Each structure stands twice: as C-alpha cells, then as structure tokens.
Amino acid sequence: MFKPKRVLFERDALEYQLGKELQRKFKEEKIPVGLIASHNRVTGIPGRTPGEAYREAKQTLVVGVRRTLQFSPCKPSAHYQLPLGTSCSGHCQYCYLQTTLGKKPYVRVYVNVAEILQQAAKYITERAPEITVFEGAATSDPLPVEPYTGTLARTVEFFSLQPLGRFRFVTKFTDVDGLLNTEHNGHTRFRFSINTQHIIKSYEYGTPAAKARLHAARRVAEAGYPLGFLIAPIFIYPGWQDDYTALIRNLAGELRGYPPEGITFELISHRFTRSAKKRIMEVFPATTLPMEKSGRKFKFGQFGYGKYVYPKERLLEMDELFRRELGKHFPGAKVEYLV
C-alpha cells in the first residue's frame, strides 16, 4: 500500500466530503498535511537534484479538484480517458509520464468524483445507442491510492448500472482486496500490466514482482471481473524470447481452470523519444535502459512527436512469439493490438 511522506490539499478540496475525510485520516496517521492554493503552484516538495526531486515527488500526494470536465480521447484502448488522478507511486524508469508531468511528478487524486462520473454519464448519453468505453489509468495507476479514496470502487459501482457504459483500468499493483466484493455486473475490465521479472527488477522500481501480480489476477478472475493483461513495454534483450514465453506459461498456470475466452491482451513494444531519454538520464543517470538510436526506427506518433521504435523485422519477431504462445495457452483470448 502506498503511504505518502506528505499530503498537500488544495483549499477547494476541503469543501468536499472526501477531502475532509482524507484530511482527518492522514492527520490521524500523523502524516504531515499542508494546504496549497492550486496544484499548479505546489510548494514544499524538497529535492536539490533531479533524482531527489523525482523521488520526493513520488512520495507526495496532492488532493485536489478536477477543474476540466472535458475528457480526452484515449485511442486505441477506449473512447475517453476517465480522469481519476495523475501520476503513480511506482518508479518505472521508462514511463512516458516522465516527460508529461514535469520535474516533480507528484501523485494527485480528485475529490469531486460525483462530478466526474456525472460527466461520464453525459458522454454515454451522447453516444447512445453505442457503448462508450472509458479508460481509468491513462495518466495514472489508480490502485495504490484506492485504500484511501475508494474512488475505484465507486466508479466500478457506477458503471455496473450503465447499460451503455464500460470501464477499464490497468495496474501494476496487487492491493485488490477492496474491489473483490464490489458490484461490477461485468462492466469493468480489470487489467494487469505484467512483464518479465528481469524487466521488473531492472526498471520497475517500487512495484510488485511478476509472481505477485499473477496471483492478484487470479483473485480478480475469481471475483468475476472481465480480465485483461497489458504486456508492456516489451524489450528485446538476451534471452527475451525465453523470458516472455515463461511469463505467459506462468500466467496460464496461475489462471488454470479460468476460461480464456474473454481475456484480452495488449502488447506494446518499448519506444522512447528524445525528450524522454534526456529526462530519464537526468533522473536515473546509471540507467541501463536501451535507448540507443542504432537498432531503432524513427517514427512520428499520433500526437505529432517523433519516437524511436523497434524496426519492422523485430516487431514481426514479437508478433510471432506472442501470437504463438498466447494461442497455445489462451485459446479464444483476444489480442487487441501489438504496437
């Protein structure tokens, strides 16, 4: 469970019941609590070097109000992002949020959950009679803060009552207890981001081991949730074929007896941008992340910026391996994409 080192409240957040409850809870736990006027003017997070500032920010929780209720699109996984928070308590070196959340990527949660869900209901109505899908983890991992906020459980219950609304989120974390008995009506897809233990140990600091994630997935499956897995980022390194084959085999073993039909897989190869590489090298100067331009292909992404991706022939190797192994161990499961 994520335990922040400090908690900063936007003054407006204390006008909401959840904000008041969180302030009382953190004071009872003797976690330092402060007030700020806006999340755009966060002060009080120490850090003399980029690495120190990053680590201190990752231990800082900001409790605020979501001002903008216009949701961003979320291709290819959903129609819209559902903004429940930003950032994550994990320290994954490769994370794309390195370049979008500034030098102090503090964890932020929103207390005006009712307003956010009301806006989701409007989007659902606008697209009726089509089903509208919302992604709850586009800019965060919402599970580590769930024991404090209860926001995910509230969101799952909301979508359980929406005939034309579906919710999905992804996590690397394993504290799933608070969601196992939540009424979901099959309308929430609970997804886990998994990788080989080599990658987790090397680059996904502060996150659970592969075995723990697979066990948590089993518990979620037993609770009846539609299940999904994000295998990302996929790296090519000595022994990568054997490691990813073992990962899929171990997952199949953990889910033995659970029907594979209905499970989804999303496969994302590692990529990086110039700005991401610069930022990662500042925060993790000793990183061994493979970010050499040689062996990569430069490609423009959907948002107009350029990124370095594996060339076509290496992507074909990935595609062949994952489709073969997933077809063998999870017949009937859906591979949504490999990019």
Spacing of C-alpha 288 from chain mean position: 23
Max Cα distance, the chain (Å): 56
77: pLDDT confidence band, cut at 50, 70 and 90?
confident
Closest CA to 180 of 144, 223, 217, 136: 223
The mean pLDDT value for 74-89 works out to 93
Q: Cβ-count burial of 51 within 10 angstroms (0-12 exposed, 13-18 middle, 19+ buried)? A: middle
CATH number, span 72-82+116-338: 3.80.30.30
Do residues 326 and 333 touch, judged by C-beta distance below 8 A?
yes
**Per-residue pLDDT tens over the stretch 116-141:** 999 999 999 999 999 999 999 999 99
The kind and range of the H/E element at 134 are strand 132-135
Higher pLDDT among residues 44 and 331, named by residue? 331
Confidence (pLDDT) at 281? 94
pLDDT(115) > 90: yes
Quickly state the pLDDT bin for 38 (edges 50, 70, 90): confident
| Cα separation, 82 vs 137, whole angstroms | 8
Site of tokens 């965060």: 140
Domain residues of the chain, as ranges? 72-82+116-338
Report whether 224 contacts 214 (CB < 8 A).
no
Q: Read off the pLDDT band of 104 (50, 70, 90).
A: confident
Burial of residue 171 (CB within 10 Å: 0-12, 13-18, 19+) is buried
Q: Could you tell me what percent of the chain has a pLDDT over 90? A: 89
Q: What is the pLDDT of residue 301?
A: 66
292-312 pLDDT tens trace: 999 899 988 665 678 999 999
Q: What share of the chain is helix, strand, coil (3-state, %, to 5)?
A: 40, 25, 40
Amino acid found at 163: P
Taking the alpha carbons of 24, 37, 101, 123 in that order, is the dihedral positive or negative?
positive
- 3 state SS for 206-253: CCCCHHHHHHHHHHHHHCCCCEEEEEEEECCCCCHHHHHHHHHHHHHH
Q: What is the pLDDT of residue 1?
A: 77
pTM above 0.85, yes or no: yes
Would you state the pLDDT for residue 303?
A: 59
**Residue 96 reports pLDDT greater than 80:** no
What length does the chain have? Answer: 339
